[in-house]
Structure 1
């Protein structure tokens, strides 16, 4: 029973504080799942994030569903999805009512514009954490090369992010397999 309560708390907190959609909730889910409850490590979380990015739909519900299932089966999945969706539904009803009443006020515009830099900083911190992890595995050279290649493919060739993620997952699997073969030869 305590596990179900913890699942609800983790995803309710990230859902209620994740104003701004998926990108703002990802660092919050990471904090709850990896740091607070330790249900998975950084590598496992990055795999879940990559998979959730490749699938259609809201990222927070996909991640919460998978993590809830992984922690406590189907009931955990249902609780996690419910906990991540309910705050958004409540907030949408309340905020849209208030914002509609005061939509022409400058403070409402300023408040909505203030969210953008906060989300940018949160995503930047999470990205830096993943870059540091990649550096430890691949080294700076390969990590920076993959980042640069990803930016070029996304921005100049307009490659769909899901295709890039699948390509990077294939590269990671091949790299891991090659590393395992080298370890076996040296042993």
Structure 2
């Protein structure tokens, strides 16, 4: 696992502030925005590291909108980075929520206020679709087409038909991967 470069606090703050500002739809809708900031824009993490963090964050209790920024901030800038990332991502939510609740309570019967919330749903759907395709491509390259499809079908059936929490499935997969890891490591010979 590579170690990301130390991020300046200001860059960390603005990256997660943007995520908090544009993360309409809640925690899951913020995941592509976090990936855009930490993997694509700033290259603090690789795609593989981001996927690992996402898997572990989904397994833990609490909102993913603060778990991921908290861990990523800690990972790239220590305890101060954790605090900065969490504050930056929740600050827009706190300010906006208070302002919108005041407006909504005053204008709750106006049709365009109701329509405004509905208009965001298709955009969030497209963002989640893009993230799904990114994960599908990574899974297909790592495990192959057949194994990836079979795992997706089994996981979908367990989640939607049986009612098992996704975190439990991810936990079992991580535990299984630990049990099945190779007992010896292939080390490259140094010249």
Distance 1:181 1:52 in 2: 28
2:16 is matched with which residue?
A: 11
Question: Taking structure 2 as the reference length, what is the TM-score of the superposition?
Answer: 0.88
TM-aligned CA distance change 1:84 to 1:174, over 3 Å: same
Whichever structure has more helix as a proportion of its residues is 1
Q: CA deviation at 1:156?
A: 1.1
1:52 aligns with 2:38: no
Tell me whether 162-171 or 60-69 shows the greater mean CA deviation: 162-171
TM-aligned CA distance change 1:86 to 1:63, over 3 Å: same
Contact 1:23 1:119 in 2 (8 A): no
TM-aligned CA distance change 1:3 to 1:172, over 3 Å: same
Contact 1:12 1:87 in 2 (8 A): yes
Distance 1:155 1:182 in 2: 40
TM-aligned CA distance change 1:45 to 1:61, over 3 Å: same
1:100 aligns with 2:105: yes
Deviations 1:109-151 (A, max 9, x none): 1111122222121111101101101111100000000000011
1:28 aligns with 2:33: yes
Distance 1:19 1:137 in 2: 31
Unpaired runs of 5+ in structure 1?
none
Other structure's SS at 2:162 match: coil
RMSD: 2.3
Distance 2:134 2:176 in 1: 20
Other structure's SS at 1:156 match: helix
